Structure 1
Amino acid sequence: MRIKARAVRAAAVGLFLATAACAPVYNNHGYVPTDQELAQIQIGTERDKVQEILGRPSAEGMLNADAWYYVQGRWKLTGINAPREIDREVVAISFDPGGRVTNIERFGVENGRVVVLSRRVTTTNIQGSSAVKQIFGNIGRLDAADLLQ
């Protein structure tokens, strides 16, 4: 009888550990300013003031410094499966040649397509929209080998 009770306990512990190992774990990477932080930035604000309020971004315009990009991604890890990105958000702040804010936009992903979540000034895309496309273009292209390197 004692051996049977131990076997049942061992099976219960094993089942618990197997279930816990398959529970999803969510990780956030990067930083995107909140709407309250962005409300402090007005059109015409100088680049130094933006840096003072929001901090320096993780990405800038690829060919020139006409825009700053704040990027945040949310990843889901389940068991032994490769991590999967489930959400990505980008805030793009455009500057004129004099270093003053001309536009603030927030982008997200919906059904695998880049969508504008909010826009402060203009109705057309920012000048560096190709950078936003590149940032979002990596969704789904991540390989587990890339994470290990």
Structure 2
Amino acid sequence: MIASPKTVKTALRGALLVGAVLAVTACTAQYRKHGWIPGPDLLNEVVVGVDTRDSVAETVGEPTIDSLADESGYYYVTSRVKRFGAKEPQVVSRDLVAITFASSGVVDSVQRYTLEDGRVIPLERRVTDSSLEDKTFLRQLVGNLGNFNPGSFLQQ
């Protein structure tokens, strides 16, 4: 069965329309939000000089980042990231609420920072690379032959 020119033209228009819709949607920026910060109403409930770490966690919620080393504060962070096609993701906005504690354990200050207050600090986990990642057992064994010192066995 041979298709009529009208049917071919309609199918071609449909394919062209689908292609145009796909091209337009592929070039649309996508935004993702990560993290959470407490709103002004929750932050107003935190009383400087009165609240403790436990009362802040109960009132405001658990922090995004807790200063484990010196227990100096709670940090709540939210970021908005723009992704556009194959380009590298770009941080559009970042808000940070820092609730710091005095050495006695009570709230010392409540501060809010935005991206405009400073430079972008990447929040990511660092993982130490292993030197063994692409070496097989045989390659490690042969690679260690030059490191062998027979004198270390004879000095017993």
Within a 5 Å distance, the mapping from 1:42-121 to structure 2 comes to: 42-43=47-48, 44-61=50-67, 63-110=69-116, 113-114=117-118
Cα deviation code 1:25-68 (max 9, x no counterpart): 11111111111110111112111110001222121236411111
Q: d(CA) in 2 for partners of 1:71 and 1:64?
A: 19
Q: d(CA) in 2 for partners of 1:9 and 1:75?
A: 35
Q: 1:138 aligns with which of 122, 146, 149?
A: 122
Q: Which runs of 4+ in 1 moved over 4 A?
A: none
Q: d(CA) in 2 for partners of 1:69 and 1:21?
A: 36
Cα deviation code 1:55-100 (max 9, x no counterpart): 2212123641111111111011122322211111110001011211
What is the aligned partner in structure 2 of residue 6 from structure 1?
11
Gaps of 5+ in 1: 115-132, 140-149
**Amino acid across the alignment from 1:25:** Q
What is the aligned partner in structure 2 of residue 15 from structure 1?
20
Task: State the number of aligned residues.
Answer: 118
Secondary structure at the aligned position of 1:19 is classed as helix
Q: d(CA) in 2 for partners of 1:46 and 1:61?
A: 15
Q: d(CA) in 1 for partners of 2:89 and 2:11?
A: 36
Gaps of 5+ in 2: 1-5, 124-156
Q: d(CA) in 1 for partners of 2:58 and 2:74?
A: 14
Secondary structure at the aligned position of 1:137 is classed as coil
Secondary structure at the aligned position of 1:29 is classed as strand
**Structure holding more strand per residue:** 1
RMSD after superposition: 2.0
